[in-house]
Structure 1
């Protein structure tokens, strides 16, 4: 189990480095339309940017029936360029064709959120393959469940730090029964804090949480190396306790992503539940794929030199240490 992680970790880290190198191209843009009175909407348009001179070349174009009520007010906040303005469309947004100009040329997507006066919320993704989105009637319960379940699955599968933490847990715990208990503890913990933070019961600044999530990977990687040297620590002796403790932090990270999306006021329990379910399904799929690959390739890994056993932990720990420093510097600046 420990050796099988070598190729898998390298593949994941290569994907991560590729993702990091082109992060400005694939970070999603965000378009929010909030109904402020019948037929009138406040527009928030958020585009990834690097400084005042660099931003993704994306724009929003509404159909000819839409009237712009004021000139956009814009500015840079963090790593994003924001614009705000108001629009009016007789009869509301149903049937409105929203064109994200330039999207077909950029490897990213746009998250479109529409919030109505009665509390109903619509969440949609606009992709390069379909840069024009036609607004439909406000969604019902089934549409909300499908949307938030899909968002949950997608979030965990592109959350490289969360997946890397699960991976180092799998390297640490080769016994399948103990692994199931460890992953279960991690799941319970991050479900608790995800729910509490999403419902605003607890509020924690996001940047320190992200730095601590990276630090959790460093800690478990260090514990793996200690164990391989014959000096097992608390993580190997009580892996479920470590997984539960750090799972609380990871849940706050999931909640930060959900906060950016928002919850529909009319279907909060269903949206929260199925976002959480989506996260768990994505996580279980990741674990299942690793276990299957390990079973298929176990004969190959038997011939690897024993000195290579620590390579996955060193790679994972080094990348996580870089993330820790990068994220710490970012929130202090």
Structure 2
């Protein structure tokens, strides 16, 4: 019974095929000149299929300069438009009448010659007020929540962490392996965000999928003498460097606020770690629960979950190599 439940859980978590897609929508309102602005936004879809493009709410005195351009993705619509504003936008409200498709929406307002402002729009607060000067707390809060959301909804990173816990299992060994993964992807995330490092996205996504397959295979095999079993923190560190490029790609899609880059980087990374810690603790609690209910079922449960994770990772790997 426990094996079946764990397998269903693993398959459910692995279901979305669009791995590592940053689930929250975003709006970018950027000033180009005294009167001209550009508006770009991503509108997540509640379900696949045709949908109308919802134009964000603009501050009073601002209007579209023409028809918005619409581009369709499997799970979202991408919109862009030119905007003309008659005067200053300070104190104006920008956002959405209502958030559709679930999740939060990240808003980025970029006035000329002034700090970028970042907001997290929610179902209860879908509009934000543009301030004359953004607060540091606003940046910390917004990017921390974005980091939590990315690890919990970035399915490939999530499955890698789950597979790592299933492979190691023991408390101190799990702590070392997860810490190595954290240090590695933090280094890469900072390097890419600061313009010091860079790799093409497609090979990075393929290696991330490969890392999931490798850990799943090692867990299912149960060979205690393998390098991955003996040195899991080394493997976690090496693959963590690659996963960092994935985190950086997600952060780059939102953008970093000028003048608050260190705060945004640190708070995003802290959010990732908070979400990652929650996942690790949840998996360890499930494993301990299975062990206490029926210890003989623990090994088959882990093996079944590993198969589910490995199949999902293999699908992503093939899709990213030939898709």
| TM superposition score normalised by structure 1 | 0.83
CA displacement at 1:93 relative to structure 2: 4.0
Q: Retained in 2: the 8 A contact 1:186–1:240?
A: yes
1:160 aligns with 2:182: no
Give the aligned CA root-mean-square deviation in angstroms.
3.0
- Give the equivalent residue in structure 1 for 2:292: 299
Say whether residues 1:94 and 2:91 are aligned partners: yes
Structure 2 stretches lacking a partner, 5+ long: none
What is residue 278 of structure 1 aligned with on the other side? 271
Tell me the CA shift for residue 31 of structure 1.
Answer: 1.7
Deviation string for 1:239-281 (max 9, x for gaps)?
A: 1111111111111110000101111110111211121111112
Q: How does 1:52-91 map to 2 (within 5 A)?
A: 54-55=50-51, 57-62=53-58, 64-68=60-64, 70-72=65-67, 74=69, 76=71, 80-91=77-88
**3-state secondary structure, aligned to 1:41:** strand
Report the counterpart of residue 150 of structure 1 in structure 2: 145
Residues 106 and 279 from structure 1, CA distance in 2 versus in 1: closer, same or farther, beyond 3 angstroms?
closer
Describe the superposition over 1:200-225 as per-residue Cα deviations: whole angstroms up to 9, x where unpaired: 11111222211211110101111122
Q: Deviations over 1:104-151 (max 9, x none)?
A: 553354322111223412222334444444434442222212221221
CA distance in 1, matches of 2:273, 2:180: 12
Q: What is the CA distance between 1:5 and its match in structure 2? A: 8.3
Partner of 1:13: 11
Indicate how the Cα distance of structure 1 residues 264 and 132 shifts in structure 2: closer, same or farther if over 3 A, else same: closer
Distance 1:65 1:143 in 2: 25
Distance apart, 1:318 and its partner CA: 0.3
Q: 1:149-298, aligned counterparts within 5 Å?
A: 149-227=144-222, 230=223, 232-298=225-291
| Change in 2 beyond 3 A, CA 1:231/1:12 | closer
**Cα distance in 2, alignment partners of residues 208 and 5 from structure 1:** 34
- Change in Cα spacing, 1:286 to 1:27, as seen in structure 2 (3 Å) is closer
CA–CA distance in structure 1, aligned partners of residues 36 and 3 of structure 2: 54
What's the CA shift for 1:12? 4.0
| Aligned partners of 1:194 and 1:251 also within 8 Å | yes
| Alignment: residue pair count | 317
CA distance in 2 between counterparts of 1:159 and 1:27 reads: 8
**Shift in alpha-carbon separation, 1:115–1:46, aligned structure 2, 3 A:** same
CA distance in 2, matches of 1:240, 1:310: 21
For the residues of structure 1 that align with 2:278 and 2:299, how far apart are their CA atoms?
Answer: 29
1:59-92 deviations in whole A, cap 9, x for unaligned?
2243553243x21452538665332212214232
CA contact (8 A) 1:150 1:278 kept: yes
Distance (whole Å) between structure 2 residues aligned to residue 301 and residue 321 of structure 1: 31
Give the stretch that moved more between structures: 231-240 or 144-153. Answer: 231-240
Runs of 5+ unmatched residues, structure 1 = none
Q: Distance in 1 between matches of 2:246 and 2:227?
A: 24
Structure 1 residues 157 and 89: alpha-carbon distance in aligned structure 2, compared to 1, 3 A threshold: farther
Q: Deviations over 1:265-313 (max 9, x none)?
A: 1011121112111111211121122223333442224142865552111
Which shows bigger deviation, 130-139 or 237-246? 130-139
Contact 2:163 2:215 in 1 (8 A): yes
